A and B are shown apart, each in its own frame.
Chain A
């Protein structure tokens, strides 16, 4: 039977952060994820590196955590962060007292916020509406959540930890009041497996309540669905926030070659397969247009939704906006009498590292491990040559290389991903997944959303022996169905035109609609 010291449940930012923290402190650990890395909320957000200013007024604790983590992440994860800075901009209809409130609150929390003149904003960001009345600069940024989280897992693995995807915990085993291990189901083979451990850290995000229930612990998590829209062009190079209390459509994040419009907020009961609808898309676009009018004429290439796990009272929460974005790290041995069981829930992507530190600190206190946390100092590992938002660098490189040779090796024309990059990453795949290939290489993340390259990726995976012929076309079909969910709400104008061509490719040419 497999045996370890700590089992971490949940392959999101928190779980990955916890695994790395444990590994760096020399504690043996296994991370279990029921689907793939980042397939939950961690892969369904706007990739914002918070400065904390968004929470400064109403949620100062979160604001304080965000700014200190903002500083640490820029140190340890620089390659996957773009230090773009952010503006809070006031439009004529926005509450006139909010900018001053924001400035005061930021000063109190030591968030470097500085008022600048609207004219200076327009000079730096000409696409921003000329109607803005005031503007405040803050140290917001953007990050690549997929790469950040993968880097945490890879670093943990280098230090002896293990990660298993597609393993769902279906039972938590106890010896009296003491944790003994877990029973997991392999989602791909259907086989069951037991793993022994002295401790469990529940980092299940929106599923944390369910996991706690398996241990006989009650943990109430509130669910708030947030939808986002991806535009095909950045339009701005700075994060643009609406200078008013948190609301739908109040943020634009330039992320890689795209612009992400966020976010709606609605408390929900259903947490599986969150999907945006047409009304949310229309709302985000019409609110976004007010800050950057060009949005009205820019192609929306995808919409998606994630569910935030929030800690707080359920009563009277229509949209979950007033609940703190703070997190909890719980030792259920102390609070519920289940020894060896810990939960860490709530928080933000920006604060994942701090959450991990807190819960591992608590665990170390129990075990008497005195190794200090080092995740805030030690840089994360990134693949050689990796750079976030390197489209222009890639284009420059292509121009310098022998043009003809360069272009023919480009397998994803939108994001300029070469055959070499793809075949390299295929070697790193444990389980064949087009989704993971996208996240690893950005292939298929551009305007056509993999419409013209996913069959190439499938063929390369098959030729590398990662999938059998029998699997290949069903893998491709499943990918196309997932893709469809994200693009359906944004199909109109040029995007609809391109989609008809892509459908012709898969139906008229490949006849996949009649393929068994």
Chain B
């Protein structure tokens, strides 16, 4: 494969390029790097300001690794055992360097509203608002405070008093309905959950010979015949007065229709419970936001192994997929770094150091590797390494240790920004959406002026 000599692009090549190919449009107002929630929101908000946007990402982004729910702030202080009632109240008390504090409540509210409007326009509405947390069950039978949830999960709210039947599928590894129900019922007995739960397994779902997993089940739910066959079995398992919880596999392409139809046909309220990755709600969110952005004219280039920046003084002039000089350079007036942390690939490490992978931006971390971690794993204080990232100013521009802007046309969004440990404070989605929204706006404004 590597035997073929490298050559430059000729007119013939341009003619055979497909029309969507971003090679045809190499100069942009804003280039977003990263296809997680932060990158997608940044592209949305920049495009809404009229900017011509290109989104570059090595892979699918980390949405398929999330629950698909938007945590805004679950706990404050993070060591508290009691979930925060209203995230927006907690946000006002956060430390000064937290990205939320940098942005301020108004921007956060505007960002969450924009997200809900955008996703509702794709016929996949999210319930909730920043004014209240919702407690939902996990697929382990523990509680999870979150803020915005897909409508398809709404009836899983643990403050609802109706008893619930959890239905799993034989062969689905990460959803054990009896186990989950027993754990939730225990919490019910302790007064933490309003209703009792019980679990049943649907034997051998007919997936046409495919292995049973979240993805094949979601595909099956898109099929009307599959749903029709299932409805009968579900009815036979149901006790009067129960609502039904399914693992979050109720369809890929039109989950809202699938969910509404099932509720109607079975005649009870139905909800989804998020599963470990790969997450169907996360994939839905990715695909819906992507198609929304494409309709808005945002171009996507997803799936490459190397990205090389070209720098002039303190300005980024472009990015090359592969080696500069040999491949095409994508130029833009402003850039948004939304590459995430270690999982996303924005940060990496070796035995002695932590580094930002694209631009080598300054990262503050203890020299001794021992101090990147705490002696206990599940501590509400969180692990230091989950908070590592780049320091930013109020406009979300990365700054060095002296507080000077590193690149005049660079903005950052999402997990790559330091001082937010989304894992223990439960703030990942909210930070991604609000920093993405603001970075997108700022980058579009910057591009307009330069």
Contacts and interface: CB of A to CB of B under 8 A. Distances in A.
B131 to A, nearest CB: 21
Given A407-B211, A462-B182, A512-B142, A492 B67 contact: no
Contact of B348 (A405, A481, A493, A508): A493
A28 to B, nearest CB: 41
Contacts of A501: 65, 277, 343
18 contacts: A278-B368, A404-B209, A456-B176, A459-B140, A462-B178, A463-B179, A469-B182, A469-B183, A484-B376, A484-B377, A488-B375, A491-B369, A497-B342, A507-B378, A508-B426, A510-B138, A511-B144, A514-B83
Contact of A508 (B373, B375, B378, B422): B422
Interface stretch (B26-34, B236-244, B299-307, B379-387): B379-387
Interface of A: 277-278, 282, 285, 403-405, 407-409, 411, 419, 452, 455-456, 458-460, 462-463, 469-470, 472-473, 476-477, 480-481, 483-484, 488, 491-493, 496-497, 500-501, 503-516
Interface in B321-376: 341-343, 345, 348-351, 368-370, 372-373, 375-376
A473 B67 CA distance: 20
B380 A513 contact: yes
A473 B176 contact: no
A514 B428 CA distance: 16
A458 B274 CA distance: 18
Nearest to B341: A500
A446 to B, nearest CB: 16
Given A492-B349, A506-B378, A408 B276 contact: no
Contact of B141 (A285, A405, A469, A508): A469
Contacts of A405: 211
B418 interface: no
B179 A515 contact: no
Contacts of A507: 378, 423-424
Contacts of A496: 342, 349, 385
Label chain A's interface by main secondary structure. helix
A488 B140 CA distance: 25
A90 to B, nearest CB: 27
A508 B432 CA distance: 14
Contacts of A456: 173-174, 176
B75 interface: yes
A503 B369 contact: no
B251 to A, nearest CB: 20
Given A408-B211, A456-B174, A508-B66, A491 B144 contact: no
B397 interface: no
B342 A472 contact: no
A463 B274 contact: no
B349 A503 contact: no
B383 to A, nearest CB: 7
Nearest to B175: A459
Instruction: Please give me the 7 A-B residue pairs with the lowest Cβ-Cβ distance, nearest first.
Output: A484-B377, A459-B176, A404-B211, A469-B182, A459-B179, A507-B423, A497-B342
B185 interface: yes
A480 B343 contact: no
Contacts of A455: 140, 174, 276
B213 interface: yes
Contacts of A505: 276-277
Given A404-B211, A452-B276, 11 more contacts: A403-B211, A409-B171, A463-B178, A470-B186, A497-B348, A506-B378, A508-B71, A511-B138, A512-B378, A513-B379, A514-B74
B93 interface: no
Interface in B52-69: 65-67
B210 interface: yes
Interface in B138-155: 138-145
A496 B145 CA distance: 26
Given A480-B377, A481-B378, A507-B378, A512 B140 contact: yes
Contacts of A407: 211
Contact of B378 (A459, A469, A470, A480): A480
- B67, B178, B211, B382: most-surrounded residue (chain A CB, <10 A): B211
Residue picked from B65, B144, B369, B370, most chain A C-beta under 10 Å: B369
A65 to B, nearest CB: 39
B173 A411 contact: yes
A469 B185 contact: yes
B212 interface: yes
Given A473-B183, A500-B341, A500-B385, A509 B376 contact: no
Nearest to A478: B378
B316 to A, nearest CB: 25
A488 B373 contact: yes
Contacts of B372: 491
Interface in B39-86: 65-67, 71, 74-75, 81, 83
A516 B81 contact: yes
B369 A500 contact: no
A497 B343 contact: yes
Contacts of B378: 477, 480-481, 506-507, 512-513
A508 B144 CA distance: 8
A469 B186 contact: yes
B379 to A, nearest CB: 7
Nearest to B170: A408
Given A469-B183, A472-B183, A508-B71, A481 B209 contact: no
A455 B424 CA distance: 19
Nearest to B174: A456
Contacts of A513: 378-380, 382, 423-424
Contacts of B423: 503-504, 507-508, 513
Nearest to B143: A511
